[in-house]
Amino acid sequence: MESNTRPVAHNHISVDCVVIGFDGEQLQVLLIKRDTQELHDMKLPGSLIFQDEDLDDAAHRTLDTLAGVQIDHLSQFKTYGSRNRTKNPLDTHWLQQSWHQNIERIVTIAYFSTVRQLPRIPSQFKARWVPLNDIAELAFDHNAILQDALSHMRMLAVTTPNILFNMLPRKFTILQLRTLFSLVQDKELDVRNFHKKLKQMPYVVPTEEFQKSVSHRAARYYRFDRKIYNKVYGVRSMK
């Protein structure tokens, strides 16, 4: 390897997490409120990583300490290290306040996960669920990271659809399932063709429970059978 005179980067490293939930109608994103004198906006849950802390561990810790949320499986999808990503004066000032030290460029590794419905966030945390469509301008380059996360989700939905079932309640109706698929793929899905597709998913199994007290024909509840799923998808399964 060449010996160089140019100074070598010795940067802070962080993780940022995009966590997506589904309330039955919309996709929602877990965000953190930044409330200071100058700043009233939101950001992805993220944190610098500690000395000798593994990346995946840092991501789990971040969600635990910032939102009280535990996630079984987070997957890394992209790393951001542009020189400009922490150049906004408001952002750098906020970083100094938060970490009590001078922080130059931060290289951040972005993680993605889905969660079942919208886990309750204990009140001591500054985290909130925000509907995807209501998200305004975020801190740093977090809007770009979120967009990349959504593409990543669309890809995962094809290769490992369990990330979608992971968002639904234990018992769900086909309408809920179809709404979710439709949101993720960002297109309308034909009702009958969707039922047909269901038949090719042996891991979506009907229960004997039906909706109650709805003012129309009651829908049957289905459940996701992880064992059958793992057989179908072999080793590729999530965990």
Determine, following the binding rule CB under 7 A, whether residue 205 of this chain makes contact with DNA.
no
Residue 200: which of a second copy, DNA, none does it interact with, CB under 5 to 8 A by kind? DNA
Work out whether 213 is an interface residue with DNA (CB under 7 A): yes
User: Could you tell me the maximum CA-CA distance found in the chain, to the nearest angstrom?
Assistant: 75
Instruction: Figure out which of the listed residues 214, 231, 236, 237 binds DNA, where binding follows CB under 7 A.
Output: 214
Instruction: Please give the torsion angle defined by the CA atoms of residues 192, 195, 196 and 198, in that order, rounded to the nearest 10 degrees.
Output: 160
Name which position in 218, 231, 236, 237 contacts DNA (CB under 7 A).
218
CA dist 189 and 204 (Å) reads 18
By C-beta, is 154 or 195 nearer to a second copy?
154
Site residues for DNA, 145-204, by CB under 7 A, read 173-175, 190-193, 195-197, 200
Residue count of the chain, please give it.
239
With CB under 8 A as the contact rule, the residue among 27, 29, 48, 146 that binds a second copy is 48
| Identity of the residue, 71 or 103, whose beta carbon is nearer to a second copy in the bound complex | 103
Q: How many CB atoms lie within 10 A of CB 37?
A: 7
CB of 227 to DNA, least distance (A): 21
- Pick out residues in 175-214 that bind a second copy (CB under 8 A): none
Pairwise CA distance, residues 165 & 200, whole Å: 15
Closest CA to 112 of 139, 78, 62, 137: 78
Of the candidates 62, 64, 60, the residue with the CA atom closest to the CA atom of residue 121: 64
- Asked if 22 contacts 181 with a C-beta cutoff of 8 angstroms, the reply is no
Interface with a second copy, residue 238, by CB under 8 A: no
CB of 222 to DNA, least distance (A): 8
Q: How far, in Å, CA of 15 to CA of 217, rounded?
A: 47
* Alpha carbons 113 and 167: distance in angstroms, whole number: 10
How many residues bind a second copy, per CB under 8 A? 37
| Contact flag: residue 9 with DNA (CB under 7 A) | no
Any contact of residue 49 with a second copy (CB under 8 A)?
yes
Query: Which spans of this chain sit near a second copy (rule: CB under 8 A)?
Result: 1-4, 6-13, 32, 47-55, 65-66, 76, 78-79, 81-83, 98-101, 105, 107, 109
